[in-house]
A and B are shown apart, each in its own frame.
Chain A
């Protein structure tokens, strides 16, 4: 059985979490989003700007006036939206990007833990670019403009910060990508079976 994706005969795979690509990606995405979000709140402990995506999403949904006056509601509602976003991005990864990378890039075809990690990192870094180039300047920038807080092109002048916000955003998305790549970890079923001393899958349905 070939240990890669995109071949003429698709290999049967086993996931670290869940039984299908969808459930595995959703659970991995939920865990990755929770870890990255909580880490973002802890960033000041490492002398970095705080990354509170829950509050930012709340402002987008409720508006600044409501968000400022009801900060707890803003945080909770924004947190729910942000978590759903994280799971959806993980589903796109697990169902579309992960297999597609195996088809496009020969080096990313083997379904091994290190290659799965690389794919998670690539997707995390892709979302960092989307976040910094589009989400922050196009959505958060205009939202904060009335109170005099800028975002700048590619997140290079967010409030009092310069380029450190951009690199802190990279760190946030690396946390997400590493967790996603480690947890969404499909491997050929033959690998699991032989590792458990159960022989290969030859003849197995």
Chain B
């Protein structure tokens, strides 16, 4: 549980800092033009989302594990 929370908090912090650093509004047009370009900001966004996704995946897997244990009892 603490691992999930730690990954999630770390991811959110990195994402927030990255979003502040990266200039320009996010574009939802396809193909997206013009691309925002900030090396540190976008790197932090990508790393933050990676941590958040890992936490979500771990949460889902551990939930399934708990569900199986509860059904066993």
Binding site for B on A (CB under 8 A): 41, 44-50, 112-114, 116-117, 121, 160-164, 166-168, 170-171, 174-175, 178, 181-182, 185, 187, 191-192, 194-197
B54 & A50 in contact (Cβ 8 Å cutoff): no
- Nearest Cβ distance between residue B14 and chain A, in whole angstroms? 10
- Nearest Cβ distance between residue B50 and chain A, in whole angstroms? 5
B42 & A178 in contact (Cβ 8 Å cutoff): no
Chain A positions within 8 Å of B71 at CB level:
195-197
User: Can you name the residue of chain B whose Cβ is closest to the Cβ of A179?
Assistant: B57
Task: Give CA–CA (A88, B11) in the complex, Å.
Answer: 31
B49 & A46 in contact (Cβ 8 Å cutoff): yes
- Nearest Cβ distance between residue B40 and chain A, in whole angstroms? 8
User: Can you name the residue of chain B whose Cβ is closest to the Cβ of A166?
Assistant: B43
B65 & A164 in contact (Cβ 8 Å cutoff): no
Contacting residue for A48 out of B45, B57, B64, CB 8 A: B45
Chain B positions within 8 Å of A163 at CB level:
39, 43
A181 & B26 in contact (Cβ 8 Å cutoff): no
Chain A positions within 8 Å of B47 at CB level:
167, 170-171
B62 & A114 in contact (Cβ 8 Å cutoff): yes
B61 & A47 in contact (Cβ 8 Å cutoff): no
A194 & B61 in contact (Cβ 8 Å cutoff): no
Majority DSSP secondary structure for residues of B touching A: helix
Chain A positions within 8 Å of B54 at CB level:
121, 174, 178
> Is B35 an interface residue when CB atoms closer than 8 A count as contact?
yes
A178 & B53 in contact (Cβ 8 Å cutoff): yes
A182 & B28 in contact (Cβ 8 Å cutoff): no
With contacts A44-B32, A114-B58, A181-B57 taken as known, whether A168 is within 8 angstroms of B26 at the C-beta atoms is no
1/0 contact trace for B33-45 toward A, CB 8 Å?
0011111011101
> Is B12 an interface residue when CB atoms closer than 8 A count as contact?
no
A48 & B37 in contact (Cβ 8 Å cutoff): no
A45 & B39 in contact (Cβ 8 Å cutoff): no
Kindly name the residue among B28, B30, B45 whose own CB sees the greatest number of chain A CB atoms within 10 A: B45
Task: Give CA–CA (A44, B32) in the complex, Å.
Answer: 6
Chain B positions within 8 Å of A161 at CB level:
37, 39, 42
> Is B10 an interface residue when CB atoms closer than 8 A count as contact?
no
User: Can you name the residue of chain B whose Cβ is closest to the Cβ of A164?
Assistant: B42
A181 & B46 in contact (Cβ 8 Å cutoff): no
